Amino acid sequence: MIDVGAGDGHASVRLARARPDVVAIALDPSVDRLRDGARIALRQRIANALFVVAAIEDVSAELASRADEITVNFPWGSLLRGLVRAESRVLCGLAALAKAGACVRALLSIEDRDASSGLTADDLVALSRRTYDLAAAGLALEYLDVATPGEIGASGSSWAKRLGARRAVYTLRLRRLDDRTRERD
């Protein structure tokens, strides 16, 4: 499992602790943010939690086609814009990490008052019409709807607790196409 835009990496540490049979990889471009989770994993001797400092656009070949599942919980900045606007540099990075058939689950919070993102909830609705852009990157849209409290809680995200119940949160689920499917499209 790879958590893209992992922030402090706490969700990956919790998963690795709960599931010793899973390698939980926290991926974030900020070493400062990942440092906290890495320290916890080291202190608690959690050997199946890995921390990778990289942006989704710059993921190394060593991680290609490794993930059975990818999560993106409450992204912001270029990762949020790239997902919502179906930008190939972000979508191709996600697809490169995933094994064929792997699920990419994202929890997104976009509100019109978040002017710094340059996005509105209407942009998210428009994503459901961008199937060509998704398919070109090797992904298919499976689901886009308002997230349930259970989905938000299960994310293990530190940020989810700070958002509070008043924010609209959406669940986006994508599926990595296999190469044969991509060739037909």
CATH number at residue 147: 3.40.50.150
β-strand partners of 49: 24
Range of the domain at 13: 1-54
**Does residue 51 contact residue 41 with C-beta atoms inside 8 Å?**
yes
Q: Is residue 22 part of a domain?
A: yes
**Are 86 and 156 contained in the same domain?**
yes
What is the per-residue pLDDT for 159? 74
What is the per-residue pLDDT for 184? 46
DSSP single-letter state for residue 64: T
Expressed in angstroms, the distance from the first to the final Cα of the chain is: 28
What is the per-residue pLDDT for 135? 95
**Are 24 and 87 contained in the same domain?**
no
What is the per-residue pLDDT for 115? 58
**Are 98 and 166 contained in the same domain?**
yes
Domain total of the chain: 2
**d(Cα 85, Cα 63) in Å, to the nearest integer?**
24
- In which residue ranges of the chain is pLDDT below 70? 111-116, 163-166, 179-185
